[in-house]
Structure 1
């Protein structure tokens, strides 16, 4: 079922994208030779007028093939290049624009049903620099480090991709009682001491080591996955609840601790020194939960949701180019289907309403993402074609069609190579 839902969502987004190209081609009297959903061999097709409508085997793409689109024929009526340059620009741009329209319509439905997430300050840590600077519970954050904030998740994504460092200055713009004000302060530093492992089990289970962190004290002392911690400084630890109680009563410091653990029925003693771990803190928490929207605010925040999706996509691309995100973080059709399936499985227990809102939210993200990616000025993408058309509009004559075609072909080959790599990466992650 989850695979069917994923295919339906993915196909609907692609179909709407190609519909944009199709409708504007018709408006500009360009003959569409084939309008298809999917790639590969045809499963079903029929002809109506000058157009063949096809359903193809692989549900990972679609096309709106236009007469003379990849040739230099200009004078023959009905060909792509016989249309005016501004007509061709509208045809090419219509695909991504329709993706944004789809994302907006779905966002309005989601906001109307669930609401939106205002970036409201929920709490300010007592004694923190934020409190001293005047930040108060109930303030609405509209700017963070110069980045405009519309929603709580705007702040989450930006702060995740641009994590605070010790000593950083935090610059906020907040709205309070209808007035805007700027607040600046130095981040606080949270100092913790860690042993460096994760445990498996609930409060009543034995303290079994699930994983050991690289370069941390327990790894250096020889602790391995599957070992069971049985005591700390002579205090017996039978389960996770005992461990939590011990840590609360005896917080880890720079002082060494004696740990007893068992492996294969044998007990061993080690002495380790917890490692200092320092993190910068903002000193406040903020809202990530939905609040009801009414009237025109539903439309307003529907648009804001699309803006959030577009900005998140652009931020992610920026991080990819800068190297903060790697190629391993990319996902293609296989990864997307898996993500939709995972969301479906995790949402089933929360009720039908939440399930479908989560599915629609993924559709908004994917539709906005497809719109942004297609507008990138890369050969073979809509954005790459738009670059050539804008140059033609400025020069009032086209670039050599054979040169343009060669550039788009090279771009297509690069995109296909990237697609193969991303699909391989998705499959490896699944395995």
Structure 2
């Protein structure tokens, strides 16, 4: 149960923070955010904000989205001949168009639609009792879609493509940017919880519970002076020293000098490698705690960029992980406590931020690339071209997600 809760917590926080970045900068750019959704699928809760945004929680707690006016496939489609119920104000101007079967306004006017323009002219024309009738539509009118979702209509002046280039660029970049900020915050909280920042520049180390040194009788923070014949100066010396020392043994027993005391220690063998069971010592200064979050975030980013580069030149699905792999990691983190959960949250947030910046259509990086191309060409890419590229990119991402998830299932259960 804790594994599921940990998974949902990590996933929800990362998604909400990412989408809030898009939401915040879209609002600043003058773009209408029609819906801010947490989760996918049918909605189970909704609230119409005074800012014109519909806030929803949807039944599947995997993902979320910000629905911006004129962004991607966001369109208002009213088939010709369909019946729509119009709510009018005292001036006879339409304030709500109801395409669903819900009867929300007993005074609504039933209109069989002939034509409409909800972007420029803001009018709708149709048949009312076999008589042709036209109505003006309020700029801030809402439309109830067939599934019952009520959102604002999207006139051209509040659509994504009519915002400034800088506004659109920042709207696209803000999602990954928020992931980087979340990563730093998560790592910083982790450092305060564990009492300090790891300091690899010393031979002082922390003994891991149930590790090899712990079984040899050590605990807390100790000075690791020698492994075999190798003098330990800092944390980076430990792995090479273990590798060198275990070349001369078949049972994993090596001579270790700790706090001026030498003894034979039985190392733990994990995945074919020997481990002594230590972590870097902690720098407990306030400065280390405040700056350590940035350092850990930068280190995580470096690992992720290296992994992506390796995947590009040596494609291998085993180097990728989907929801199944994230759930497994979340379950392991939950067993180890909040420190591990925060560490995983920070790492995954940085990971998602970098992944979203890849110049692939349908990802934020693909949209940013189009913004850069527009800045160079001094004119935007055709909307139809952008739509086709986005659809192709989305299709490829869906196929990749299916392949990665299936690979995770095979690795886990078979």
Closer, same or farther in 2 for the Cα pair 1:112/1:428, shift >3 Å? same
Match of 1:339 in 2: 329
TM-aligned CA deviation for residue 390 of structure 1:
1.1
Q: Verify the 8 A CA contact 1:108 1:302 in the aligned structure 2.
A: yes
Which residue number in structure 1 is paired with residue 39 of structure 2? 38
Q: Secondary structure at the match of 1:380?
A: coil
Report if aligned partners of 2:165, 2:371 keep a CA contact under 8 Å in 1.
yes
Q: Is the 8 A contact 2:186 2:346 kept in 1?
A: yes
Q: Distance in 2 between matches of 1:370 and 1:7?
A: 16
Counterpart position of 1:378: 360
Flag structure 2 segments of 5+ consecutive residues without an equivalent: 76-118, 121-154, 204-224, 255-271
Change (3 A) 1:295 1:409: same
Partner of 1:19: 20
Determine if the alignment matches structure 1 residue 298 to structure 2 residue 299: no
Which residue is 2:88 aligned to? none
Are the structure 2 counterparts of residues 20 and 293 from structure 1 closer, same or farther at C-alpha, using a change threshold of 3 Å? same
The superposition leaves residues 69-125 of structure 1 with CA deviations (integer Å, 9 ceiling, x where unpaired) of 127989821111111000000111000001111111121111122222222353466
Structure 1 residue 57, shift from structure 2 partner: 1.8
What residue number does 1:226 align with?
A: none
CA apart distance, 1:188: 6.7
CA-CA distance at 1:290 after TM superposition: 4.0
Say whether residues 1:90 and 2:165 are aligned partners. Answer: no
Give the Å deviation of 1:337: 1.2
Per the normalisation by structure 1, the TM-score is 0.61
Task: Establish whether residue 414 from structure 1 lines up as the match of residue 404 from structure 2.
Answer: no
**1:369 pairs with 342, 351, 354, which one?**
351
Structure 1 residues 189 and 356: CA distance shift in structure 2, 3 A: closer
Secondary structure of 1:77's aligned partner: helix
Partner of 1:68: 70
Deviations along 1:23-70, one digit per CA (max 9) or x if unpaired, are 111111110011001112212222223211111122221100100112
Distance 2:333 2:401 in 1: 23
Deviation at 1:192, TM superposition (A): 6.1
Please tell me whether residue 330 in structure 1 is matched to residue 320 in structure 2.
yes
- Cα offset, 1:11, TM superposition: 0.6
Structure 2: distance between partners of 1:102 and 1:320: 25
8 Å Cα contact 1:119-1:286 kept in structure 2? no
- 1:53 correspondence with 2:59: no
In 2: Cα distance, 1:357 partner to 1:106 partner: 10
Count of matched residue pairs: 293
**Contact 1:120 1:287 (8 Å CA) reproduced:** no
In structure 2, the CA distance between the partners of 1:356 and 1:190, relative to structure 1 (3 Å rule), is closer
Alpha-carbon separation, structure 1, partners of 2:70 and 2:306: 37
User: Shift of the alpha carbon at 1:315?
Assistant: 1.2
The Cα of 1:137 is off from its aligned counterpart by: 3.9
Equivalent of 2:376 in 390, 394, 401: 394
| Cα offset, 1:374, TM superposition | 0.6
Partner of 1:257: none
How far is the alpha carbon of 1:308 from its aligned partner?
1.1
CA root-mean-square deviation: 3.4
Q: For 1:381 and 1:15, how far apart are their aligned partners in 2?
A: 16
Once residues 296 and 27 of structure 1 are traced to their aligned partners in structure 2, the CA distance between those partners, rounded to angstroms, is: 34
Q: Contact conserved, 1:66 with 1:80, CA < 8 A, in 2?
A: yes
Write the distance in 1 (CA, Å) between the matches of 2:309 and 2:23: 31
Question: Residue 43 of structure 1 aligns to a residue in which SS?
Answer: strand
Task: Give the distance between the partners of 1:9 and 1:78, measured in 2 at CA.
Answer: 33
Please state how far the C-alpha of 1:140 moved relative to its aligned partner: 7.5
Distance in 1 separating the partners of 2:356 and 2:392? 16
CA distance in 2 between partners of 1:76 and 1:316 (Å): 42
Does the residue aligned with 2:282 lie in a helix, a strand or coil? Answer: coil
| Aligned mates of 1:22, 1:301 — CA distance in 2 | 29
Gaps of 5+ in 1: 129-135, 142-151, 160-186, 195-243, 249-278, 348-354
